[in-house]
């Protein structure tokens, strides 16, 4: 059974940092692309970042480029999202997702999802 468990969310002031973690079980992230998405109240789920199965390619939404970094530790089977220079508009529930091999910015391409972790950025 595949499980993705996010952690690391919380309340932070604008300009601050958080690191989200996504611990995977039931699949090996070395064979799967993993992505981070977010959903704010009343809005659709949007792409944030992704890393492909090899770890050699990363993808970012324009709104987070230069501020967020996706990485992974295959030994821990965990994917991370380092978020710096946070803004109030980054406030959302952040979800980790996985799909086989290649990264994608479309949530519809991902088969496995975590339960989400809340990130709130105060101004």
* DSSP state letter for 85: S
The pLDDT score that the predictor gives to residue 113 is 98
The pLDDT score that the predictor gives to residue 70 is 98
The pLDDT score that the predictor gives to residue 38 is 98
The pLDDT score that the predictor gives to residue 32 is 96
* DSSP state letter for 107: G
110 pLDDT above the threshold of 90: yes
Q: How many Cα neighbours within 13 Å face the side chain of 34?
A: 31
* DSSP state letter for 104: -
**Cα dihedral 95→98→103→104 (10° resolution):** -60
Encode pLDDT of 46-84 as tens digits.
999 999 999 899 999 999 999 999 999 999 999 999 999
117 pLDDT above the threshold of 90: yes
Q: Mean pLDDT of all residues in the chain?
A: 96
The pLDDT score that the predictor gives to residue 101 is 86
Q: Is 4 exposed, middle or buried (0-12, 13-18, 19+ CB in 10 A)?
A: buried
Rounded to 5°, the CA angle 116-111-80 comes to: 45
């Amino acid at each position: 059974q595949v499980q993705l468990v996010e952690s690391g969310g919380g309340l932070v002031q604008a300009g601050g940092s958080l690191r989200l973690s996504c611990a995977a079980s039931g699949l090996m992230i070395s064979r799967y692309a993993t992505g981070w998405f977010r959903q704010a109240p009343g809005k659709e789920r949007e792409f944030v970042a992704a890393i492909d199965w090899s770890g050699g390619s990363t993808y970012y939404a324009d709104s987070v480029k230069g501020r967020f970094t996706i990485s992974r530790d295959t030994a821990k089977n965990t994917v991370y999202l380092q978020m710096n220079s946070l803004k109030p508009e980054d406030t959302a529930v952040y979800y980790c997702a996985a799909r086989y091999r290649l990264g994608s910015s479309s949530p519809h391409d991902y088969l496995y999802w975590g339960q989400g972790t809340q990130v709130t950025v105060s101004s």
